[in-house]
């Protein structure tokens, strides 16, 4: 039987081994007869982001009673504050735009390129095939997407990304929560899972700190909840766990800001590992190249840069020259951006700028200028003076870029030029610097969402994982707009698995 002391001891034990990425940890052998349960439920879902909400809603619709445990005071986790982008091949807006040659296979092709040989093509395919059902689930729940909006985002070869009208994933979280609540899902806030209770290789329940108030670990009290039909871990990533981050990826600059909420610390994932769950790709932590040093957390920069990457260019302020294919994937762009340094090694925040007059009244611009994370300049001279950029080189860069636009060819970085425009003052300018954003590492699952045991390499019984808590799906780089897809799509798969395992 697990208590808090043994949980912490086991967690520390994992931390020492996590850098090796794989380890064989002893499974617990708790006799069911000796456990005094405080409560029994059918299916426990841990976490209330995209994955947790989708699993909950689809499970209740499949006839499985669901209880969702959320450790924070509000639902949604990172999903509630993300940028609200959703990759959906063959969505209605895409088809109306005349893009009729897209498919789930086309999306997976792009994802596998970004994965750099480390992605799980079979899993990506299963998820991509559920994109349209997941999109329709959102519409049925009352989710509002931006009207007639569907664009091509970094690393994708087609325009297939729709976006929430609200500009954040909260637009989905709120509506799925309302749907789940009306259909009978039991949601509980401030319930922090501290350990799993095992019977051999089977998860039979959890130890929960009920009444927990983040981040005070002394709040609440421990209870044991039995889960008759299984446990789904959907707690997201661990980017706010600085100690774990530094262990699994010492190269990650600890001074980088993070887009995630403060509770993204991964303790339930670590607890699962102590019971034998197989970790994979824990050292692959993605940065969002659209971060702004002029606002904290996730912010609005990614929305502004959905213009900048298409209609503008990114320039190193120390040289006045372009630095990258502005439409490449996150890993490519983050690497190029973080190479921009002053002589003393401090960050030289690259400038991304585009034509002001082409986007008059656009809320992405007015909001960014209002919040002073973007500026308007009537000339290159004024821009160069503000950010100490070599003016003559900056003028030469813009002149050269405009010739590339005329030729529809970018010989410097081979950027796709279908949305590129000639640059002319006045300009909207923002600064960029990557922020820690997404964990590609987590628990290894089979294609049906079952957690894999590190010792046997076989599925653990009645233990499932979903979304960012899993690993090995996206390889080295997850493409933009695919977190929403992954979290929502797996919710269609796991309920079928649970019924098959019953």
For the entire predicted model, the pTM comes to 0.89
φ, ψ dihedrals at 273, nearest 5°: -65, -35
Q: Which residues pair with 470 in a beta bridge?
A: 443
**Element housing 195 (H / E):** strand 191-199
Q: What percent of the chain has pLDDT over 70?
A: 93
The pLDDT of residue 7 is 36
The pLDDT of residue 34 is 85
pLDDT in tens, 140-190: 999 999 999 999 999 999 999 999 999 899 999 999 999 999 999 999 999
Reported as half-sphere exposure (CB side, CA atoms, 13 A), residue 477 has a value of: 23
**Is 330 assigned a catalytic role?**
yes
φ, ψ dihedrals at 247, nearest 5°: -75, -50
Using 50 as the pLDDT threshold, list the residues of the chain that sit under it: 1-30
Query: Which residue of the set 330, 364, 415, 478 is catalytic?
Result: 330
Residue with tokens 């130890």: 207
The pLDDT of residue 32 is 61
Per residue, the 3-state secondary structure of 201-248, as one string, reads CEEEEEEEEECCECCECCCCEEEEEEEEEEEEECCCCCCCCHHHHHHH
């Amino acid at each position: 039987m697990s208590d808090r002391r043994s949980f912490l001891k086991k967690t520390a034990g994992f931390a020492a081994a996590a850098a090796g990425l794989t380890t064989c940890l002893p499974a617990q052998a708790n006799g069911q007869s000796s456990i005094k349960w405080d409560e029994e439920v059918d299916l426990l879902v841990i976490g209330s982001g995209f994955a947790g909400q989708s699993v909950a809603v689809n499970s209740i619709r499949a006839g499985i009673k669901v209880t969702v445990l959320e450790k924070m005071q509000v639902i949604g986790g990172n999903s509630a504050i993300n940028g609200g982008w959703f990759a959906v091949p063959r969505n209605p807006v895409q088809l109306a735009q005349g893009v009729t040659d897209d498919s789930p296979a086309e999306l997976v092709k792009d994802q596998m390129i970004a994965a750099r040989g480390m992605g799980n093509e079979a899993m990506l395919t299963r998820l991509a095939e559920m994109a349209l059902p997941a999109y329709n689930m959102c519409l049925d729940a009352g989710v509002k997407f931006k009207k007639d909006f569907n664009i091509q985002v970094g690393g994708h070869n087609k325009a297939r990304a729709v976006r929430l009208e609200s500009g954040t994933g909260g637009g989905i979280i709120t509506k799925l929560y309302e749907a789940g609540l009306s259909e009978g899902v039991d949601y509980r806030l401030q319930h922090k899972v501290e350990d799993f209770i095992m019977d051999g290789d089977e998860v039979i329940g959890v130890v929960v700190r009920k009444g927990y108030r983040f981040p005070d670990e002394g709040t609440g009290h421990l209870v044991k909840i039995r889960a008759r039909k299984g446990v789904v871990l959907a707690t997201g990533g661990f980017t706010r766990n600085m100690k774990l981050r530094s262990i699994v990826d010492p190269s990650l600059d600890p001074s980088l800001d993070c887009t995630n909420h403060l509770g993204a610390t991964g303790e339930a994932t670590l607890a699962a590992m102590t019971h034998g769950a197989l970790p994979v790709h824990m050292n692959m932590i993605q940065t969002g190249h659209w971060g702004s040093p002029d606002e904290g957390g996730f912010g609005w920069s990614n929305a502004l840069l959905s213009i900048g990457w298409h209609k503008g260019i990114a320039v190193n302020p120390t040289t006045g020259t372009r630095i990258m294919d502005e439409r490449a994937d996150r890993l490519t762009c983050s690497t190029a951006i973080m190479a921009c340094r002053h002589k003393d090694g401090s960050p030289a925040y690259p400038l991304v700028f585009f034509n002001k007059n082409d986007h008059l009244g656009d809320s992405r611009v007015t909001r960014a200028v209002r919040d002073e994370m973007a500026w308007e300049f009537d000339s290159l001279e004024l821009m160069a003076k503000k950010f100490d950029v070599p003016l003559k080189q900056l003028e030469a860069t813009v002149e050269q870029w405009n010739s590339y636009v005329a030729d529809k060819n970018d010989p410097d970085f081979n950027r796709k030029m279908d949305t590129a425009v000639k640059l002319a003052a006045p300009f909207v300018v923002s600064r960029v610097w990557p922020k820690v954003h997404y964990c590609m590492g987590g628990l290894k699952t089979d294609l049906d969402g079952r957690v894999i045991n590190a010792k046997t390499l076989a599925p653990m019984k009645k233990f499932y994982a979903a979304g960012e808590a899993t690993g090995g799906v996206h390889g080295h780089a997850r493409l933009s707009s695919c977190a929403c897809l992954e979290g929502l799509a797996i919710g269609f798969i796991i309920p079928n698995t649970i019924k098959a395992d019953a």
